[in-house]
Structure 1
Amino acid sequence: MKSINPDDFKVVNAIQLSEMPTLLDVDGDDEEQEDKLAKVRTKLSEIQEVMYAHNRYAVLICLQGMDTSGKDSLIREVFKETNARGVVVNSFKTPNSSELEHDYLWRHYLALPEKGKFGIFNRSHYENVLVTRVHPEYILYENLPGIEKVEDITPKFWKKRMKQINNFEKHIAQNGIIVLKFFLHLSKEEQRQRLLRRLEEDKHNWKFSTGDLKERELWDDYMHYYEEAINNTSTKNAPWYVVPADDKEMARYIVGKIILEEMQKHSDIHQPELDDDIKANIEMYKEILKKEL
């Protein structure tokens, strides 16, 4: 398999999703991809342990993508080797009544990872400029000043909201949270095939919802708003990566490799030094414990 360069997926200039691949043409088979991913996740596990001891940084990974794009299985496979206490996953669904009594970013602030941990947002604060753009009537539930009807939600409103998201991410990045955002770029045809498999395989029937078909009818709207959100919010503090997702195994490897290489750039993350007193007396402590035998 040819080498994967994370920079090839990073959004640094305006992109058009319709021109970006959903499947990579690479040599190698699934077994080779799995071997490479296994090495990546072992290294990620080691980094998380050091990061926990260092206690200066946290990592926030945002996963976005259409239904069936493989977010759940990606989390499972990429972080399989990481200490369970070192990875916290949050899936954001329709805001409940309590969450609607606060601003739209409130529940996301509450879910930010502690220092030393990976936090994963399986769907994220970006739902507030994606689903709500496709269904602007949802904004009315937020009871915002000056918003009485859908017609009150202007392009200026969305521009301001994306600026607020940029400010949110800049703030947390400046306070020690490494932010990485991934859009799993799935083709409409591949989604059709995966939805069919959900219906044809009994063990996956429970995953199917009639809502999947309704949202599928709005595919072009979603692609338009994803593109706009990515182009307006991919920053140095919190870059977006557009990852081809028609091949689940390859998508997992790409995401894992990007996370690993980004973490390796933080050369200041290291094991803390032993206390001078402990270091000076370490042989004595060994002897004390050995004498207990």
Structure 2
Amino acid sequence: MDYIKTDKYRVADSVKISEVPTYEDFGKSEKRLKKDLSKIRRELGEFQDTLYAHNKYSVLICLQGMDTAGKDSLIREVFKDFNVRGVQVHSFKVPTELELDHNYLWRHYLALPAKGKFGVFNRTHYENVLVTRVHPEYILNERIPGIHEVDDIDQKFWDKRFEQINNFERHLHENGTIIFKFFLHLSKEEQRQRLLRRLAVKEKHWKFSPGDLKERKLWDRYQYCYEEAINNTTKEHAPWYIVPSDSKKAARVIVASILLKRLKKYKDIREPMLEDKILANLVDYENQLQSEKND
């Protein structure tokens, strides 16, 4: 959509999250936003078909945000016109015992999209510098040599993790993965309203957990950790985008627009040409098929 300036949301320099707006609707009605999203996602669906045929790139979309930021509904609405075989969604929960027996990036490697496919991480490898930073005691479960107690986890530890994540993403990029990282930026008041709706609507009760309120009390700490993570890991090949998300419908259009605009820059992604031998015999193949109706 012409009214969405996608570069506006890309983090190119150091950013202060508290100064970034959490609301945007472009002065458009919800009906118009829904219509525009429908158009963009059809184009994305067509691109997905081409990406699959080309079979040299994969696309990794990372979604992060506070509870109730709208990650699940965004995935449902933005990728609605995709062939289900061409997109894989992974939601990373608390690590299992098997996952804890490996390094923290292991389970993310296993979930990466194959060439020709889209992969969506609903919560991502960044949980390892967000939740674990707010709750550093979780790091002890990883049984890392030299880390025996929380006091052993200092700033150098987190700087090293940022470096490891940057190396991980650089490796993916150099091997054909197109990376998008979205922070769905929600205001504390909007989160309060969404949590209240979960309590008020019976069908939404299952989404509520008392733990949501405990984590909400750590809001400022989470904002600081997000800011640190974004500023230390936004790169030309793996940029962060901060998406105002108090309006879910606008956030979906913004994310879809960013995806489409950047993916269209890959002019080498196109359907492969048939071999010359096959092209030279297309008429013969057509005649063979046409003749069958006379048999």
Structure 1 residue 277 displacement after superposition: 1.6
Pairwise CA distance, 1:24: 1.6
Structure 2: unaligned runs, 5 residues or longer: none
Assess if the C-alpha contact under 8 Å between 2:3 and 2:26 holds in 1: no
Secondary structure, aligned partner of 1:98? helix
Q: For 1:245-260, what aligned pairs fall within 5 Å after superposition? A: 245-260=245-260
User: Whole-Å Cα distance in 1 between the matches of residues 159 and 15 of structure 2?
Assistant: 18
Query: Structure 1 residue 28: deviation in Å?
Result: 1.2
C-alpha separation in 2, matches of 1:69 and 1:30: 18
Amino acid in the other structure paired with 1:226: Y
1:6 aligned residue: 6
In structure 1, the partner of 2:265 is 265
In structure 2, distance between residues paired with 1:208 and 1:28: 31
In the alignment, structure 1 residue 166 sits paired with structure 2 residue 169: no
**Residue 38 (1) aligns with residue 38 (2):** yes
RMSD of aligned residue pairs (Cα, Å): 0.9
Aligned to 2:211: 211
In structure 2, relative to structure 1, the CA distance for the partners of 1:272 and 1:37 (3 Å cut) is same
In structure 2, distance between residues paired with 1:108 and 1:25: 34
Q: What is aligned with 1:107?
A: 107
Distance in 2 (alpha carbons) for counterparts of 1:13 and 1:83: 36
TM-fit CA distance, 1:290: 1.5
**Letter aligned with residue 127 of structure 1:** E
The match for 1:91 is 91
Q: In the comparison of the two structures, how many residue pairs are matched?
A: 293
Tell me, in whole angstroms, the C-alpha distance in 2 between the residues paired with 1:156 and 1:60: 28
Distance 2:228 2:32 in 1: 35
Task: Name the amino acid aligned to 2:63.
Answer: L
Moved >3 Å (runs of 4+) = none
Confirm or deny: 8 A CA contact 2:65 2:186 kept in the other structure: yes
| Structure 1 residue 35 displacement after superposition | 1.1
Q: What is the percentage of aligned positions where both structures have the same residue?
A: 60
Cα deviation for residue 25 of structure 1 reads 5.3
Partners of 1:43 and 1:166 lie apart in 2 by 30
Residue 128 (1) aligns with residue 128 (2): yes
| Conservation of the 8 A alpha-carbon contact between 1:2 and 1:27 | no
In structure 2, distance between residues paired with 1:170 and 1:72: 27
**Structure 1 CA distance for aligned equivalents of residues 200 and 277 of structure 2:** 65
- Which residues in structure 2 correspond to 1:20-35 (within 5 Å)? 20-24=20-24, 26-35=26-35
Alignment correspondent of 1:180: 180
Alignment-mate amino acid for residue 33 of structure 2: Q
Letter in 2 for 1:58: S
Q: Show the 5 A alignment for 1:201-240.
A: 201-240=201-240
The one-letter code matched in structure 2 to 1:291 is S
Q: How far apart are 1:2 and its partner, in Å?
A: 6.8
SS state of the match for residue 133, structure 1? helix
Partner of 1:276: 276
Separation in 2, partners of 1:261, 1:104: 32
1:79-134 Cα offsets, whole Å, 9 max, x none, are 00010001000000110000001000000011000011110000000000000000
* Aligned amino acid, residue 193 of structure 2: Q
Is 1:117 aligned to residue 117 of structure 2? yes
Q: Give the whole-Å Cα distance in 2 for the aligned partners of 1:176 and 1:2.
A: 29
Q: Taking structure 1 as the reference length, what is the TM-score of the superposition?
A: 0.99
Helix, strand or coil: the match of 1:62? Answer: strand
Residue deviations 1:4-43 (CA, integer Å, cap 9, x gap): 1110000001111110000025211011111111111001
Distance in 2 of aligned mates of 1:25 and 1:236: 27
Distance 1:96 1:173 in 2: 28
Partner residue in 1 for 2:140: 140
Q: Secondary structure at the match of 2:121?
A: strand
Equivalent position amino acid for 2:195 in 1 = L
CA contact (8 A) 1:91 1:121 kept: yes
- Equivalent position of 2:154 in the other structure: 154
- Give 3-state SS (helix, strand or coil) of 1:90's partner: strand
Contact 1:22-1:185 within 8 A present in 2 as well = yes
